[in-house]
């Protein structure tokens, strides 16, 4: 079979607008996958997606008018990534690095790693993952963003088709996030992080500059009816009280002790890097490592607010101002 053919579509229901740009690129719209993976070509390939999102071409990171989105764009199209950064991008090796930098941090248990060189089709992938079908595990690419499949819900190869196509590709070719370029193509199977309610645990995404957490985005019920909000840290007061958001019924922040543990882990994991988002899970038995994200939403992300995240909003400008001030060495805004 033709392994180079892209999926019919990578879209799934209720995907954020930023993901639509990635899907459109993956679907081959206004995109030439054969273009060289150089900074100049990457700018040309990824720039139109940025312009469609923000109504302008990306600014240089040093431009006084630039936002955090411009900084992320400038970083992601650059082919120069350190071995440590790339080790954190690979979802298999990232867990080892996370526990090296933050020894008390828990990591989801790895059940299986599948090299995609040995998997010619979704049917072959189903055979490899069959021992875990119907169990409390997930499967996802180690060298890409997204594509998570809950194996308890899988009934046949068709349920793995999108995962297969994502995992057999070089993810850097989609929106030119160069930290993914030429990473080994694998699928990892992990045990679910335990949660008190038996549902997906809340995701705490600390946006950090040089080891200093600045704000935390809380993602609640990511695979159900998702709700997100940005908080200042360490107080966990709403970052923007005028964002129009209110927590859903039954949602509560963790204990002060758990928040302190998350903050300590975020500091340790982000210390080697200029800017990174540290994703942690609030498990029932402790804090779990999720991932480090160096180029959130491939530069297309917008802060959550009641106004929606389909266009730049006042809450996003507050968020960008906080991070940009820290990058400039001016402290937290």
Residue 179 CB neighbours (<10 A)? 24
Q: Which two tokens stand for residue 57?
A: 């071409």
Q: Which two tokens stand for residue 111?
A: 């059940």
Count CA atoms closer than 13 A to 64's CA, side-chain side. 0
The mean pLDDT of the chain is 90
Count CA atoms closer than 13 A to 320's CA, side-chain side. 21
Residue of 217, 208, 198, 218 lying closest to 283 (CA atoms): 198
Residue 307: Cβ-neighbour burial (10 angstroms; 0-12, 13-18, 19+): middle
As a whole-number percent, the residues of the chain with pLDDT over 70 amount to 87
Q: Note the pLDDT of residue 23.
A: 47
Calpha distance 280→270 (Å, rounded): 12
Q: Note the pLDDT of residue 200.
A: 83
Calpha distance 122→115 (Å, rounded): 14
CB 223 within 8 A of CB 14: no
Q: Note the pLDDT of residue 292.
A: 99
Q: Note the pLDDT of residue 68.
A: 99
Q: Note the pLDDT of residue 4.
A: 38
Q: Note the pLDDT of residue 294.
A: 99
- For the chain, state the CA radius of gyration: 19
Nearest 5°: the CA angle 302, 304, 307 is: 95
CB 126 within 8 A of CB 156: yes
Calpha distance 80→103 (Å, rounded): 28
Q: Note the pLDDT of residue 223.
A: 58
Calpha distance 253→256 (Å, rounded): 9
Q: Note the pLDDT of residue 221.
A: 76
Low-confidence ranges of the chain (pLDDT < 70): 1-33, 198, 222-224, 331-333
Q: Note the pLDDT of residue 222.
A: 62
Q: Note the pLDDT of residue 224.
A: 63
DSSP secondary structure, 21-76, as one string: HHHHHHTTTT--TTS--SHHHHHHHHHHHHHHHHSSPPPPTTSTT--HHHHHHHHH
Would you list the domain boundaries of the chain? 14-106+198-333, 110-191
Place of tokens 């819900």: 153
Q: Which two tokens stand for residue 95?
A: 């867990």
The pTM for the full model equals 0.89
Q: Note the pLDDT of residue 309.
A: 80
Q: Note the pLDDT of residue 199.
A: 76
CA dihedral in degrees (323, 326, 331, 333; nearest 10)?
Answer: -20
Q: Note the pLDDT of residue 19.
A: 47
Rounded to the nearest angstrom, the gap between the alpha carbon of residue 3 and the centroid of all alpha carbons in its chain is 25
């Amino acid at each position: 079979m033709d392994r180079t053919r892209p999926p019919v579509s990578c879209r799934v229901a209720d995907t954020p607008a930023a993901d639509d740009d990635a899907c459109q690129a993956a679907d081959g719209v206004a995109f030439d996958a054969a273009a060289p993976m150089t900074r100049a070509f990457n700018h040309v390939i990824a720039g139109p997606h940025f312009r469609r999102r923000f109504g302008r071409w990306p600014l240089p990171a040093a431009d006084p008018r630039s936002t955090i989105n411009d900084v992320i764009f400038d970083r992601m199209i650059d082919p120069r990534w350190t071995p440590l950064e790339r080790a954190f991008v690979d979802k298999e090796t990232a867990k080892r690095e996370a526990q090296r930098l933050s020894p008390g941090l828990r990591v989801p248990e790895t059940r299986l790693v599948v090299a995609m060189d040995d998997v010619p089709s979704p049917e072959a992938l189903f055979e490899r993952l069959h021992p875990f079908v119907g169990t409390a595990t997930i499967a996802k690419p180690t060298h890409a963003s997204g594509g998570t499949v809950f194996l308890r819900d899988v009934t046949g190869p068709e349920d793995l088709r999108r995962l297969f196509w994502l995992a057999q590709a070089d993810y850097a070719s989609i929106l030119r996030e160069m930290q993914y370029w030429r990473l080994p193509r694998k699928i990892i199977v992990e045990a679910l992080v335990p949660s008190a309610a038996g549902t997906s645990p809340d995701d705490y995404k600390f946006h950090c500059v040089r080891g200093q957490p600045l704000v935390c985005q809380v993602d609640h019920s990511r695979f159900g009816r998702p709700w997100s909000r940005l908080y200042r840290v360490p107080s966990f007061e709403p970052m923007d009280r005028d964002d129009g958001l209110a927590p859903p019924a039954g949602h509560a922040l963790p204990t002060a002790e758990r928040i302190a543990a998350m903050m300590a882990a975020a500091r340790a994991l982000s210390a080697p890097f200029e800017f990174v988002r540290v994703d942690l899970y609030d498990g029932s038995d402790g804090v779990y490592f999720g991932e480090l994200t160096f180029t959130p939403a491939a530069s297309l992300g917008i802060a959550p607010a009641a106004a929606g995240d389909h266009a730049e909003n006042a809450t996003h400008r507050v968020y960008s101002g906080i991070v940009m001030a820290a990058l400039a060495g001016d402290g937290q805004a």
